[in-house]
Chain A
């Protein structure tokens, strides 16, 4: 396949960015999208130009590091996958592909297609855990959890922290990300004691870090590579409401 790539280039946090156009030839349709970018980078290095910086690591859809906005969609045109799982057969020979970083004020661009998602860590540090010390626990089977609850907690826990929800949301809200953790832990008896405090602290941190409010458009759910449901936002809202009733 021969392709034209329109890629966002930005030297560092402070520099002004711009689109650059590259053409690339003989790409195998069996290549992944990131392997196509590898080929481009090999070409750029051989031409003594700077390769395009992009985040990636596991390349099997689980680490959450890859993060591209491709033709206006987070993680590109295919459903329920991350960019590293997107394959070139989803495009056509001769296509022009526009590649941008996540655009959100909570995720400043560091270089080219790489953004700073440290805000996600900070939100979780505000309370996205169960306060338990190593070795202070009882036997695993002493806590009985109905299978349906456990399965629903697992659905929420599948979040990979990629940030596609924020990048897609017109308000750059991190509600789906926050909800996935609040909901997972609120569903489990181990997480109950801190559920209210957790919801309050994480939402406050999200607001503080510049993420917008949620208007329930559901765009985040559509683009989430792990199909995390809006229902978890409903549970977050419930916990948050309780938090404000019980100050």
Chain B
């Protein structure tokens, strides 16, 4: 099959099919190698993770007749964190007749990503988006409908059309339950074997090719080796490196990190998304952050007091926000961005909130701003606001114990999504042959910033419609590889021994610090030094501090109990040990990228008015890091991004 070799780095071959953009995927599919039906059952495929990407991939591969082993750390595949996605899923159906098309969805996604994603992958994503909606409807996903019985859409940021499909505020839940149903059907059919409460501990690579994994049963502590002709990682993002994020408590980066240490390149780790409308931190015992849908910014106005004295009084509880007259309020987004006002993109809104709070104007604990519905309620009436946002207002009230119809909501930005991840080529294969990464775990489609309602789209696109094809192009060349008995292969035994010795090492430290306390230390460093605004001095200091925490961890962590049986502290320690390494790579990537783009804002690189200054001349590439061994510097590889079909522009939200 034709493919275009990357010009600069021979280790990064994106394998993009040649030809016109709109024909690449169909050309690929019609010329790729396939595995014949009788041979499919001879292949074992390991899928780690059961979120939208993992469950849809495992189910689709099972339907094709492959023998799949699917793993998740939760007690059921239905609990994967895709379940918490609220808003919706994009597709280029153009059911609203408002001018949408595959090209427009492709264009919006590339632009939203601030021109740091790959054209061919993004076009394919837009192309398969429509079939995702069809598939989910077929599975019985109860999408919102209008009175005629047809599918309804809502609008989301970064687009001029209404292309978002939704199921109340629980779109992620309903899509995941659809995929989980398909997965259950394959489990019942015997094509998928499900391993719940099981964590992947390492990847087994034999002669440079991924051949299986080592897993740990979280109930019994037993370590097991599993063979697979291919290994698919669908393990989500690494937001929890910041400790506080909107991710689930168990969400972790260990699978991706182990892959990195086994030779898979890690791309653009510095690209993380910080969502502007989350419920602020309440105190030291805070364990995670709750997102409030972006849609609230349609009717809410964001402000802080104009005078520091007023902010101080409010923080001390001596002044109520409702008593502060309009002329004493600073509606800073409307002031700074007259054209877009409160509806600027996520990265811009987040940075502006941080700027005001850092300058001493924050409310609540000092790390919060107001989102006020007073004017909308006066204009539209409380009933309209209740219809639009009732469930969100109720959720806010349960958590904060304040009535947002009467007193403004407090919000603050929080870590939400990882655009970066394992580097993959057009086939979603990492730099390790036989090792694939799908969904949030890979870096491929969102560039430096993800648009709302596109995460669900990408997870399901990869799992239902891309990987089940591309993996066959790889497997077709593996027909002569028989199933391996892990017990008979030294590589599996060595990997098992290595995992066992790592666990023993952790258990034997017997120090004084709890895992969570060290994770919180790391999170604070990440937030302060590698958060919304980054600069050289801060990043260098951050790297030093991360290393110190890592050292403390390995000298002073305390894990009670034993490695046999269920040990919740050991589970956390395994994950935090990897976060402590990944955090440094993230900071290092942020340090090397001397430009501001999307979610990555380098304070040295901004316009006079504080806007991001992208540097296309030097940084229009994917930064893919290669692990070189313990204590050695990671090596940067560059996949240059050629925009053949789109004109690269600067984003502007002021006019």
B and A form one assembly = yes
A residues with a Cβ closer than 8 A to B are 11-12, 27-28, 30-32, 34-36, 38-39, 42, 44-46, 48-51, 53, 55-65, 78, 81, 85, 87, 89, 110-111, 114, 116-118, 120-121, 124-126, 128-141, 143-147, 150-151, 153-154, 157-158, 160-161, 184-185, 188, 190-191
Contacting pair B95 A141 (CB below 8 A):
yes
Contacting pair B248 A57 (CB below 8 A):
yes
Chain B residues near A35 (CB-CB < 8 A): 285-287
Contacting pair B282 A140 (CB below 8 A):
no
Partner of A28, one of B138, B188, B282, B398: B282
Partner of A12, one of B136, B149, B187, B565: B565
Chain B residues near A145 (CB-CB < 8 A): 145, 149
User: Can you name 11 extra interface pairs (CB under 8 A) apart from A31-B282, A65-B79, A125-B185?
Assistant: A32-B399, A51-B560, A57-B81, A125-B187, A132-B182, A134-B135, A134-B465, A138-B138, A144-B149, A144-B150, A145-B145
Interface residues of B in 110-156 (CB under 8 A from A): 131, 133-140, 142-151
Q: Given known contacts A140-B134, A184-B140, is B288 in contact with A59 (CB within 8 Å)?
A: yes
Chain B residues near A185 (CB-CB < 8 A): 140
Q: Is B208 part of the contact surface with A, judged by Cβ < 8 Å?
A: no
Distance to closest chain A CB from B130 (angstroms): 8
| A185, closest chain B residue (CB) | B140
Q: Given known contacts A28-B285, A30-B283, A126-B188, is B83 in contact with A63 (CB within 8 Å)?
A: yes
Task: State in angstroms the CA–CA spacing of A129 and B291 once bound together.
Answer: 30
Contacting pair A161 B249 (CB below 8 A):
no
Q: Is B78 part of the contact surface with A, judged by Cβ < 8 Å?
A: yes
> Between A and B, how many residue pairs show CB distances below 8 Å?
216
Contacting pair A59 B285 (CB below 8 A):
no
Partner of B145, one of A110, A129, A134, A150: A150
Contacting pair A110 B76 (CB below 8 A):
no
- Binary A-proximity of B66-101 (CB < 8 A = 1, otherwise 0): 000000001111110101100000000101000000
Contacting pair B60 A138 (CB below 8 A):
no
Contacting pair B185 A62 (CB below 8 A):
no
Chain B residues near A31 (CB-CB < 8 A): 282-283, 285
Task: State in angstroms the CA–CA spacing of A160 and B187 once bound together.
Answer: 20
Contacting pair A190 B79 (CB below 8 A):
no
Distance to closest chain B CB from A54 (angstroms): 9
Which one of B142, B173, B174 has the greatest number of beta carbons of chain A within 10 Å?
A: B142
Contacting pair B219 A110 (CB below 8 A):
yes
Contacting pair A134 B140 (CB below 8 A):
no
Chain A residues near B290 (CB-CB < 8 A): 59-60
Q: Is B2 part of the contact surface with A, judged by Cβ < 8 Å?
A: no
Partner of A184, one of B142, B512, B561: B142
B residues with a Cβ closer than 8 A to A are 56, 59-60, 63, 74-79, 81, 83-84, 93, 95, 131, 133-140, 142-151, 167-168, 170, 173-174, 177, 180-182, 184-185, 187-188, 194, 196, 219, 248-250, 282-283, 285-288, 290-291, 395, 398-401, 464-465, 468, 512, 514, 516-517, 558, 560-561, 565-566, 568-569
Chain B residues near A151 (CB-CB < 8 A): 142
Which 3 A-B residue pairs are closest in the complex by CB-CB distance? A129-B181, A137-B138, A144-B149
Partner of B401, one of A36, A60, A89: A89
Chain B residues near A118 (CB-CB < 8 A): 75-76, 196
Distance to closest chain B CB from A199 (angstroms): 15
Main secondary structure on A side of the interface with B: loop
Contacting pair B84 A58 (CB below 8 A):
yes
Distance to closest chain A CB from B171 (angstroms): 11
Contacting pair A188 B558 (CB below 8 A):
no
Contacting pair A128 B93 (CB below 8 A):
no
Contacting pair B138 A130 (CB below 8 A):
yes
Partner of B131, one of A46, A51, A135: A135
Chain A residues near B184 (CB-CB < 8 A): 121, 124-125, 128-129
Partner of B150, one of A34, A56, A64, A141: A141
Partner of A59, one of B139, B182, B287: B287
Chain B residues near A157 (CB-CB < 8 A): 142, 167, 174, 177
Contacting pair B287 A121 (CB below 8 A):
no
Chain A residues near B146 (CB-CB < 8 A): 147
Chain B residues near A61 (CB-CB < 8 A): 395
Contacting pair B135 A63 (CB below 8 A):
no
Task: State in angstroms the CA–CA spacing of A54 and B138 once bound together.
Answer: 36
| A129, closest chain B residue (CB) | B181
Distance to closest chain A CB from B514 (angstroms): 5
Distance to closest chain B CB from A179 (angstroms): 15
Q: Given known contacts A28-B282, A63-B248, A141-B150, is B181 in contact with A128 (CB within 8 Å)?
A: yes
Contacting pair A190 B138 (CB below 8 A):
yes
| B182, closest chain A residue (CB) | A129
Contacting pair A147 B149 (CB below 8 A):
yes
| B400, closest chain A residue (CB) | A30
Contacting pair B282 A56 (CB below 8 A):
no
Partner of A141, one of B77, B79, B142, B151: B151
Contacting pair A48 B560 (CB below 8 A):
yes
Chain B residues near A138 (CB-CB < 8 A): 134, 138
Which one of A125, A134, A191 has the greatest number of beta carbons of chain B within 10 Å?
A: A134
- Of the A-B pairs whose beta carbons lie under 8 Å apart in the complex, a sample of 17, sorted by A's number, is A35-B286, A46-B558, A48-B560, A56-B249, A57-B74, A57-B250, A59-B249, A78-B398, A85-B399, A87-B399, A121-B194, A125-B188, A138-B134, A140-B136, A147-B146, A153-B140, A190-B137
Q: Given known contacts A57-B74, A87-B398, A134-B135, is B569 in contact with A45 (CB within 8 Å)?
A: yes
Distance to closest chain A CB from B635 (angstroms): 36
Contacting pair A116 B188 (CB below 8 A):
no
Chain B residues near A36 (CB-CB < 8 A): 285
Distance to closest chain B CB from A98 (angstroms): 21
| B194, closest chain A residue (CB) | A121
Q: Given known contacts A12-B565, A58-B81, A190-B140, is B75 in contact with A131 (CB within 8 Å)?
A: no
Chain A residues near B566 (CB-CB < 8 A): 12, 53, 110-111, 114
Contacting pair A137 B137 (CB below 8 A):
yes
Chain B residues near A78 (CB-CB < 8 A): 398
Chain A residues near B249 (CB-CB < 8 A): 56-59
Contacting pair B142 A49 (CB below 8 A):
no
Contacting pair B288 A42 (CB below 8 A):
no
Chain B residues near A117 (CB-CB < 8 A): 75-76
Contacting pair B137 A58 (CB below 8 A):
no
Distance to closest chain A CB from B287 (angstroms): 5
Chain A residues near B561 (CB-CB < 8 A): 50
Contacting pair B287 A133 (CB below 8 A):
no
| B77, closest chain A residue (CB) | A121
Distance to closest chain A CB from B422 (angstroms): 23
Distance to closest chain A CB from B454 (angstroms): 18
Partner of A45, one of B187, B400, B558: B558
Chain B residues near A129 (CB-CB < 8 A): 139-140, 181-182, 184-185
| A56, closest chain B residue (CB) | B249
Distance to closest chain B CB from A12 (angstroms): 6
Distance to closest chain A CB from B560 (angstroms): 5
Task: State in angstroms the CA–CA spacing of A14 and B144 once bound together.
Answer: 47
Contacting pair A81 B76 (CB below 8 A):
no
Q: Given known contacts A57-B250, A130-B140, is B398 in contact with A85 (CB within 8 Å)?
A: yes
Chain A residues near B401 (CB-CB < 8 A): 30, 87, 89
Contacting pair A51 B248 (CB below 8 A):
no
Distance to closest chain A CB from B244 (angstroms): 11
Contacting pair A42 B83 (CB below 8 A):
no
Chain B residues near A141 (CB-CB < 8 A): 93, 95, 150-151
Which one of A32, A36, A129, A145 has the greatest number of beta carbons of chain B within 10 Å?
A: A129
Chain B residues near A30 (CB-CB < 8 A): 282-283, 400-401
Task: State in angstroms the CA–CA spacing of A180 and B135 once bound together.
Answer: 21
Which one of B79, B146, B194 has the greatest number of beta carbons of chain A within 10 Å?
A: B79
| A11, closest chain B residue (CB) | B565
Task: State in angstroms the CA–CA spacing of A155 and B101 once bound together.
Answer: 32
Q: Given known contacts A140-B137, A140-B151, is B287 in contact with A58 (CB within 8 Å)?
A: no
Contacting pair A134 B285 (CB below 8 A):
no
Chain A residues near B194 (CB-CB < 8 A): 121
Distance to closest chain A CB from B290 (angstroms): 5
